[in-house]
A and B are shown apart, each in its own frame.
Chain A
Amino acid sequence: MTSREKVFQAESKAKTADLTHRAIINRVLKQSDDAFKKGKEQFADLDRARKQAAGIKMNTIARLDHYLLEFESNFTRAGGKVIWAGNAQQALDAIAEICREKRASVVVKSKSMVTEEIHLNPFLEERGIEVVETDLGEYIQQLAGEPPYHIVAPSMHKSKEEVARLFHEKLNVPPGLTPEELTLAAREKLRRKFREAEVGITGANFILADIGGIAITENEGNARLTTSFPSTHIVVTGIEKVLPSVKDLDLFWPLLATHGSGQKIAVYNSVFTGPAKRGEADGPEEMYVILLDNGRTGILADPVARESLHCIRCGACLNVCPVYKNIGGHTYRATYSGPIGSVITPYLQGMRESKHLSYASSLCGACTEVCPVRINLHGLLLHNRRSAVRDHHGSILEKAAWQGWKIVSKDRRLLDAAGGKMKNFVVNRLFSAQWGDHRKLPVFAEKSFSSQWKEKKKRDSAGK
């Protein structure tokens, strides 16, 4: 067992027994579920819409190089700059270079999981740059010094009292504020930052090949401000976020909104095609798009796992996952938590270090059922388990145990040689550790079915 797995098991155990945590998560996810049910009503046939979306993503990923180049060519023509980054360090270096060139002292960010993935904030802070998260949930997490708890709702595990305490301590506002007052306090603090910052950094929900555009979805307006005031806009995005056409948004925006937050459509869906054009009132002088690989081509190279690149990061699979509900978002200790996180994290952080996440699943399939682009999530968890065993990342003891099992179970004489007591003793010794304390190992009968059958036949023929 790796040390990460040990930590995971210990933290899972503790979190599962934490009743305050459970009460908050259950309440919040119940609200998500209710909203989702309502949002779904806009679709005449949601399954057909999901099939169509899955088809578009599959076609796009199957020609990923073509679409990335089409995007690059169109975006460059409009005055934007494309930077390709093979790994996190290359992306970080590129951002550092731009910040240096612009003499940036303050950077505002809108919500972006990819910048979490490359650990951008500590990197910039080390260079003396103030980084300000402007999405309210991310702002709360930044004040608390915690990573996001959920890919869409970063601070959903915090009670309003907790947030009020946090704001009181960190922002010097009166104690006991309501959610409305807390939101207003954040609005006031952040307004100044938008105007101060030299650089604005965002993620991307979609890369649009045909118009060379970046689509960003949000409810608060912070991404719009991040892309309005600072003179430089940097987009950091995974290479898999491409859609062939701006027209695909007609389907993907409502799908994302419904599955992400139960809305028909998010409040602000913006498309950016480059820096401000001549004659436009405002907007950045420069716009960069950093296309990040960081393990994604590894997923692409696995024809089975490839479909996990269809993900639009709506978070719906987290919301319905019984494991996520019990252990919470932080226990995964991965940028992407929940079912999709368990599927892709081994490719981003290494199978050996992260394979245990693929075992932390009841394989109930709720994630697969809800996914707006129909990723076979629970199937991919099994696929990861298979890959981990194939590549010898399992424990040697378990492997030996299964080999012993194979030899005995393939040989009738060996199988019948021992009685039930002996079998139970051996199996218990071999497998009880992996099987866990919370479920019973199957019990062997005193005599095997085969022996019982033979005896019965003998008795029957003797009785004739």
Chain B
Amino acid sequence: MDNFSARNNILEKIREALKKSSGCQLPESTGDVFYRADDMSLLEKFSAEFAAIDGKLEVCEGKNTLDKRLTELRKENGWEHIYCNTASFHESVGFGDLSFPWKGAPESASAVITGCECLVARTGTIVLSAAQEYGRALTVYAPVHIVVASVGQLVYDIGDGIERIIRQYGTNLPSAIFFASGPSRTGDIEKTLVRGVHGPVEVYLFLFADNEGETPADQPGYQSKFIQL
């Protein structure tokens, strides 16, 4: 059967079936918030939730902190090849010694550095999209994913993240949008939690203040008790 007749057949069957009402009253949409609220700030909430799903947050006061921490982490973990194809990071973050002119996802990447669309505080989620330079594979193929973002990219909930993407791209949405919450994991063998089954084993977030010279602590909502460098 060709697609056209199959389509008409199915639609016809649906319309015929729906002639009989289920008799159930259609409920009104309430549009409520269903999630438990607390009095944490966006940054506090994100920090707590990101830590709870094994994400590693590094709050940066400037380029120097980032450079320093990255060098330390690189040494500690023996990351041989760190990749970053986000052109704007060359200058703004200053990864002078990293290998940049690179596309795709080679086996050899020990860690990749990318930006992100936004951050969802309530679930500790990093929102990524295929419209960015890193594309689809890079952020899930490498064993370590390092995200560089700023405090201004924090939103409260999943719905806010979706709205932000829609506001930004309108009807020309990226071909893929990813809500990534922590390292890849599985519980398929006796429910034993194992990290890094197909995606990254570690996810780092380097979080900057929005403007040069400020620290995240200057941002509204920042409370120092959650962030320790």
Contact = CB atoms under 8 A, between A and B. Distances in A.
Contact of B174 (A220, A239, A253, A277): A277
Interface in B1-53: 1, 3, 6-7, 9-11, 13-18, 20-24, 26-30, 32-37, 49, 53
B168 to A, nearest CB: 14
Given A224-B199, A297-B17, A183 B194 contact: yes
Interface string A249-284: 111011000000100111111111111110111110
Contact-size category for B: 35 or more
Interface string B149-184: 000000001110011001000000111111111111
B135 A282 contact: yes
B197 A247 contact: no
Nearest to A139: B188
Given A43-B34, A136-B189, A265 B123 contact: yes
A293 B5 CA distance: 13
A246 B166 contact: yes
A160 B198 contact: no
Contacts of B137: 224-225, 228-229, 282
Nearest to B14: A65
A180 B189 CA distance: 9
A276 B130 contact: yes
Contacts of A84: 3, 6-7, 9-10
Interface centre among B6, B103, B125, B180 (most CB of A within 10 A): B6
A276 B175 CA distance: 6
B174 A268 contact: no
A301 B20 contact: yes
Nearest to A55: B27
Contacts of B192: 160, 179-180
B185 interface: yes
Interface residues of A, number: 103
B73 to A, nearest CB: 22
A274 to B, nearest CB: 5
A293 B26 CA distance: 24
Contact of B9 (A31, A86, A222): A86
A291 B10 contact: yes
Contacts of A276: 130, 136, 175
Interface string A175-218: 00001101100110011000000000000000000010100000
7 contacts: A78-B173, A160-B192, A221-B184, A225-B137, A265-B158, A267-B181, A268-B140
Q: Which 7 A-B pairs have the closest CB atoms?
A: A221-B199, A281-B135, A250-B159, A55-B27, A137-B188, A301-B17, A228-B137
